[in-house]
């Protein structure tokens, strides 16, 4: 097989850079289950400061971090309100229901990936023995590559305060949002009771997600993480990569966004591919192959040229720090040849 020059399947495919590996090699380690891994402790206080929260918890994955948050917010028989296409609802194996006896109340996203608060309100259950107890609203940012409008966070927070709901953000790609909007993490996180952040997406760490919230919430989350098998011993080796990612790779997300724009503009000009560059906000480009029969041959054609894509007729292309401008140009050239 040809060597890979650009893998557009996801921003999770990045390999740790030389600098990141060096940071992992030289990390000071302890036993985090005893709370004495200095690198984990440093990472947790670093992200807590960055997001303006009291405390943080290193989790094995975004799925675990979101699940731990749901378990910490909700009791058995409670309900969380969530987007129909949201990761926490659709792509995490139904963990909240399976492991927490927490009932999901999914609601369709609006075009901008917000949940219409009037529609949420209409689904809230009265305090009555017939119903699950509505307890938590869960949002996602970025969401299918889209960034939640800045004004929405405070409206959602006010709504939740009025309705007695807690508010969780699946911020797997939160820093893509802050880079796109030119705001600080705290401009967004201050509106939420808890936020989950992935280090292993565009930030380039091999493993790790962080959950932030107040001290009591994180103490509760800590217990659930242990129960889920997420208590890791010399986890500083992972925390060092996460710290490196936070210190070095946030600004570079803007480059990924620029690459996604270039990619979308180029693909939009190729007959046979449909793509609207105006919908590209961060590092994701959605395209559709006009002739469905050409989707599989295109994939093979690209693979022979070292380019990997994923999907059938509808394809999501994701840019990340292991795709440079040359990778984008190679993709455009190969697609041009294929459809030319
Ligand atoms: C990737 C992702 C997660 C977490 O996924 P893991 O693969 O478990 O780390 C959560 N939410 C969103 C929106 C994601 O894209």
β-pairing verdict for 55-59 and 6-7: unpaired
Task: Report whether residue 170 contacts ligand 1, using a CB cutoff of 6 Å.
Answer: yes
Going by alpha carbons, the residue nearest to atom 9 of ligand 1 is: 62
> How many angstroms does the Cα of residue 44 sit away from the middle of ligand 1?
19
Task: Report whether residue 315 contacts ligand 1, using a CB cutoff of 6 Å.
Answer: no
- Domains of the chain (ranges; CATH) run 18-248 (3.40.640.10), 252-339 (3.90.1150.10)
> How many angstroms does the Cα of residue 173 sit away from the middle of ligand 1?
9
Task: Report whether residue 14 contacts ligand 1, using a CB cutoff of 6 Å.
Answer: no
Task: Report whether residue 172 contacts ligand 1, using a CB cutoff of 6 Å.
Answer: yes
| Whole-number pLDDT of residue 2 | 84
Give the tens place of pLDDT for each residue, 299-321: 999 999 999 999 999 999 999 99
Q: Which atom of ligand 1 is nearest to the CA of 170?
A: 11
| Whole-number pLDDT of residue 185 | 98
Task: Report whether residue 140 contacts ligand 1, using a CB cutoff of 6 Å.
Answer: yes
> How many angstroms does the Cα of residue 272 sit away from the middle of ligand 1?
31
| Whole-number pLDDT of residue 278 | 96
Whether omega for the bond prior to residue 142 falls within 30 degrees of 0, making it cis, is: yes
| Whole-number pLDDT of residue 44 | 98
- Is residue 137 within 8 Å of 143, Cβ to Cβ? no
Give the tens place of pLDDT for each residue, 76-124: 999 999 999 999 999 999 999 999 999 999 999 999 999 999 999 999 9
Find the Cα–Cα–Cα–Cα dihedral 303, 307, 311, 316, rounded to 10°.
-170
Q: Report which of 65, 69, 155 is spatially closest to residue 112, judged by C-alpha positions.
A: 155
With a cut of 50, which residues of the chain have pLDDT below it? none
Residue from 10, 11, 12, 91 to probe ligand 1 pocket by mutation (most atoms less than 8 Å from CB) = 91
> How many angstroms does the Cα of residue 87 sit away from the middle of ligand 1?
7
How far from 107 is each of 121, 138, 241, 310, CA to CA, in Å?
11, 11, 36, 27
Task: Report whether residue 10 contacts ligand 1, using a CB cutoff of 6 Å.
Answer: no
């Amino acid at each position: 097989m040809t060597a890979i020059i650009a893998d557009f399947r996801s921003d999770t495919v990045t390999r740790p850079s030389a600098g990141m590996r060096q940071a992992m090699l030289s990390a000071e380690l302890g036993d985090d289950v005893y709370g004495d891994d200095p690198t984990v402790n440093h990472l947790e206080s670093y992200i807590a400061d960055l997001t303006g929260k009291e405390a943080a918890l290193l989790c094995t994955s975004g799925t675990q971090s979101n699940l731990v948050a749901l378990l910490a917010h909700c009791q058995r028989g409670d309900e969380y309100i969530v987007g129909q296409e949201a990761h926490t609802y659709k792509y995490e194996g139904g963990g909240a229901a399976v492991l927490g006896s927490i009932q999901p109340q999914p609601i369709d996203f609006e075009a901008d990936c917000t949940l219409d608060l009037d529609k949420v309100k209409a689904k809230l259950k009265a305090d009555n023995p017939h119903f699950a107890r509505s307890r938590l609203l869960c949002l996602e940012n970025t969401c299918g590559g889209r960034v939640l409008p800045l004004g929405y966070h405070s409206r959602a927070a006010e709504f939740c305060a009025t309705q007695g709901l807690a508010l969780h953000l699946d911020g797997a790609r939160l820093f893509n949002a802050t880079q796109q909007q030119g705001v600080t993490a705290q401009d967004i996180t201050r509106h939420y009771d808890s936020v989950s952040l992935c280090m292993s997406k565009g930030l380039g760490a091999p493993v790790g997600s962080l959950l932030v919230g107040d001290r009591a919430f994180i103490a509760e989350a800590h217990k659930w993480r242990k129960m889920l098998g997420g208590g890791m011993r010399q986890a500083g080796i992972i925390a060092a990569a996460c710290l490196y990612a936070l210190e070095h790779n946030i600004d570079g997300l803007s480059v990924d966004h620029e690459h996604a724009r270039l990619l979308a503009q180029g693909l939009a000009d190729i007959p046979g591919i449909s793509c609207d560059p105006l919908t590209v906000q961060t590092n994701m480009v959605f395209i559709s192959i006009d002739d469905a029969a050409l989707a599989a041959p295109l994939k093979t054609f690209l693979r022979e040229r070292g380019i990997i894509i994923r999907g059938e007729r509808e394809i999501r292309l994701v840019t990340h720090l292991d795709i440079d401008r040359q990778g984008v140009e190679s993709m455009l050239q190969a697609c041009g040849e294929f459809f030319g």
